Homo-oligomer: A and B are copies of this chain.
């Protein structure tokens, strides 16, 4: 929601997969590069759970984006060639319609009265922006983490409307380990005394629950291997010593991340998107994953994972690559060696540049 963010609003109802509808939807988005005359050079980027549409800096918003260094002139996703669009997810709190938005019927934030949304809804909502731009077929679709799930849902809803798809550190559904982590994160939020069934306010913010959720998130976004080398058992002296407080550097690291996150992300948005990730399942629907790809995609797919990722482990990307191959697509598949775990696509993004550049060549 910086100076480069634009907004598309559909004022007619938006129907939801699980029933019900939103009377109107707004999508926050940003773009980089120029749409060519034939409108054939667009790349749509979906985001992880907590990211905004600001994927990279640009002249009218020089602040760092969440995928800085990946999108820009002469970068892996080269904005001399491509018109890149990133859309903040439906259900989020960073410009797009979500539980923190005002329900036009009540004049108050939706909070827990917001209808259940799915990854499929997020994909269809982002497409409203693409439709509004008059783009019929994408050059490419890129999705890391939850964004990869959104890319799968998009393929399902809009078959053969992209020539290339990149599925990064993602899966066709969440494994029980990821389900269990997110379940505990949500429980920490809804049991916070300030959560009050969603009736929190600035003075009574469910900070305790959001802190715990974020810390647990960070633990699963990184890896034990990284932390052995990075923190070991080094003591911390940054935060004051308290009873059962922080003694080790790894604790002050988590604390710093938690403090940053608490004010930035709406608790209800977190709950809705977290649940959407849990219930998404492209592997166990009416059509098999191979059938889904056969029906929806003919082109060049890129599947990337990281060997130290515990949230979306490498065997899940192997499954995606295998199904894509069986469907007859051209597939580039690589499990990258990085200690940075699930977050490698963000914090070790150099590793991802060469495969993404080749895939777009």
Contacts and interface: CB of A to CB of B under 8 A. Distances in A.
A176 B246 CA distance: 12
A208 B191 contact: yes
Contact of A251 (B177, B179, B188, B191): B179
B228 A180 contact: no
B231 A176 contact: yes
A152 to B, nearest CB: 15
Interface string A171-206: 001111101110110111011010000000000000
A112 interface: yes
Contacts of A215: 180, 183-184, 187
A284 B248 CA distance: 15
Given A188-B188, A216-B216, A251-B183, A227 B275 contact: no
A68 interface: no
Nearest to A216: B184
A250 interface: yes
Contacts of A166: none
Interface string A199-229: 0000000001001100110010000100110
B224 A183 contact: no
A279 interface: yes
A243 B186 CA distance: 10
B254 A184 contact: yes
A310 interface: yes
Question: Which size bracket describes the interface of A in this complex?
Answer: 35 or more
A interface, over-half SS: helix
A250 B177 CA distance: 8
Interface in A238-283: 243-244, 246-251, 254, 271, 275, 278-279, 281
A313 B224 CA distance: 10
Contacts of A227: 175-177, 180
Given A186-B244, A215-B187, A228 B275 contact: no
A233 interface: yes
B179 A112 contact: no
B180 A254 contact: yes
Contacts of A177: 219, 224, 227-228
B224 A212 contact: no
A232 interface: yes
Which interface residue of A254, A271, A284 has the most chain B CB atoms within 10 A? A254
B173 A244 contact: no
Interface of A: 112, 173-177, 179-181, 183-184, 186-188, 190-191, 193, 208, 211-212, 215-216, 219, 224, 227-228, 230-233, 243-244, 246-251, 254, 271, 275, 278-279, 281, 284, 310, 313
Given A177-B219, A180-B215, A190-B243, 11 more contacts: A174-B233, A176-B233, A180-B219, A180-B227, A180-B251, A184-B216, A187-B211, A212-B212, A224-B313, A247-B279, A310-B310
